[in-house]
Amino acid sequence: MSTKTNPGNYFEDFRMDQQIRHATPRTVTDGDVALYTALYGVRFAFNSSEEFARTLGLPRAPLDDFLAFHMVFGKTVPDISLNAVANLGYAQGRFLTPVFPGDTLSTSSTVIGLRQNKDGKTGVVYVRSVGSNQLGETVLDYCRWVMVRKNDEDAPAPEVDLPNLPDAVAPADLFVPVNLDVREHDDTVLAGSDQLWDDYALGEKIDHVDGMTIEEAEHMIATRLYQNTAKVHFDAMLQKTSRFGRRLIYGGHIISLARSLSFNGLANAFKVVAINGGRHVAPTFAGDTIYAWSEVLAKMDVPGRSDVGALRLRTVATKEKPCWDFPVKSADGNYDAVVVLDFDYTVLLPLRG
């Protein structure tokens, strides 16, 4: 291994409280937005139209929240997950200052937990990653944990230190963009639905109906756009000898597809404010057709706001199986074989005035 190339970090390279500034700051542009629209077909008017965003008090249309997420996430890969075996979970994700074209994003991470696995060959690394814009404002803040290989199996195991990660972001911690004013959101026709916060019931399930088939070119174009360098997404030759025999699709690609599909049933859920948790239940591959359904896990007031309310949603994505019967787990408690994503997040919707 040349000293010139990046070997990534192995489990034994991480230390509690270690701080890592990640490479490659990224100015996001209208070009990124166009590609994101073209890759997922998102239709939320808040992100699609400068005019619509202005009627809600913003200076212009912000980036789709998950586009911002992927840009922030991508930078962490060379340092955190280049030697990862599995991306295990997310918690305490909060979307803060909105991201606009022209902003420059950079990311830093802190190690908040370590636990070596019993096999002595791998361990779980917990990090909190923070994405910032060129003004130093935090745009996104989230925890994730990954299983990472050891390079030297004889390296001593660190003391087990696990972070306290609540199940969900508390309503008091939800951030509503400064100047957002949804009292003017009277145009449900342009938004694509007349169903507002008031119209969703706790426990309600929504089949998002539509399906989207993924091509190799699409997921690679997306993943490179995010400057995510994980080899498993790009190198078909290397993957031939892997467990799955083919390129794996970046899990975030499925999150974005599911969010885009969710427009059909949640058109007024215009803003993601929190990622409470999430699990990539099964890998996806080119050729898979993705479907999704959602359940309303909680209806929440947003402190101090009379114009917007929050819904905590669970969106489940499947492959090769439409979601009219809301597939998720079998009687034995295991995930149904068709489920690929189980994602728990919080969105804002306008309140009926």
- Could you say whether residue 202 binds its own copies (CB under 8 A)? no
In the complex with its own copies, the residue whose CB is nearer, 106 or 116, is 106
Two structure tokens written together for 216: 């190799």
Taking CB under 8 A as the criterion, the residue among 76, 116, 229, 256 binding its own copies is 229
Residues in 241-260 that interact with its own copies by CB under 8 A? 247
Taking CB under 8 A as the criterion, the residue among 13, 181, 207, 342 binding its own copies is 207
Please tell me the distance from the alpha carbon of residue 316 to that of residue 328, in angstroms, as a whole number. 7
Closest distance between its own copies and the C-beta of residue 309, in Å?
Answer: 16
In the complex with its own copies, the residue whose CB is nearer, 162 or 221, is 221
- Give the ranges where the chain is alpha helix by DSSP (H): 30-40, 45-48, 50-55, 65-74, 188-191, 216-225, 236-240, 251-261, 263-266
Residues in 317-336 that interact with its own copies by CB under 8 A? 320, 322
Using DSSP, state whether 35 is helix, strand or coil: helix
Closest distance between its own copies and the C-beta of residue 157, in Å?
Answer: 28
- Contact in structure between 315 and 293 (CB atoms under 8 Å): yes
Backbone phi, psi, residue 125, to 5°: -110, 125
Residues in 25-54 that interact with its own copies by CB under 8 A? 25-27, 29-35, 37-41, 43, 45, 48-52
- Could you say whether residue 172 binds its own copies (CB under 8 A)? no
Backbone phi, psi, residue 104, to 5°: -110, 120
Two structure tokens written together for 120: 């002595």
In the complex with its own copies, the residue whose CB is nearer, 124 or 196, is 196
Closest distance between its own copies and the C-beta of residue 278, in Å?
Answer: 22
Nearest Cα neighbor of 265 from 208, 210, 189, 323 is 208
Instruction: Tell me which residue has tokens 């990954």.
Output: 146
Residue 330 gets the label, from left (phi > 0), alpha (psi -120 to 50) or beta, of: beta
Taking CB under 8 A as the criterion, the residue among 15, 59, 104, 242 binding its own copies is 104
In the complex with its own copies, the residue whose CB is nearer, 158 or 322, is 322
- Could you say whether residue 157 binds its own copies (CB under 8 A)? no
Residues in 270-309 that interact with its own copies by CB under 8 A? 287, 289
Closest distance between its own copies and the C-beta of residue 271, in Å?
Answer: 16
Bridge partners for 146 per DSSP? 87, 125
In the complex with its own copies, the residue whose CB is nearer, 13 or 173, is 13
- Could you say whether residue 203 binds its own copies (CB under 8 A)? no
In the complex with its own copies, the residue whose CB is nearer, 213 or 334, is 213
Please tell me the distance from the alpha carbon of residue 91 to that of residue 94, in angstroms, as a whole number. 9
Taking CB under 8 A as the criterion, the residue among 137, 221, 325, 334 binding its own copies is 221
- Could you say whether residue 185 binds its own copies (CB under 8 A)? no
Using DSSP, state whether 81 is helix, strand or coil: helix
Nearest Cα neighbor of 294 from 251, 265, 331, 332 is 265
In the complex with its own copies, the residue whose CB is nearer, 1 or 172, is 1
Closest distance between its own copies and the C-beta of residue 186, in Å?
Answer: 13
- Contact in structure between 67 and 227 (CB atoms under 8 Å): no
On the CB side of 58, CA atoms within 13 Å amount to 24
Residues in 71-90 that interact with its own copies by CB under 8 A? 78
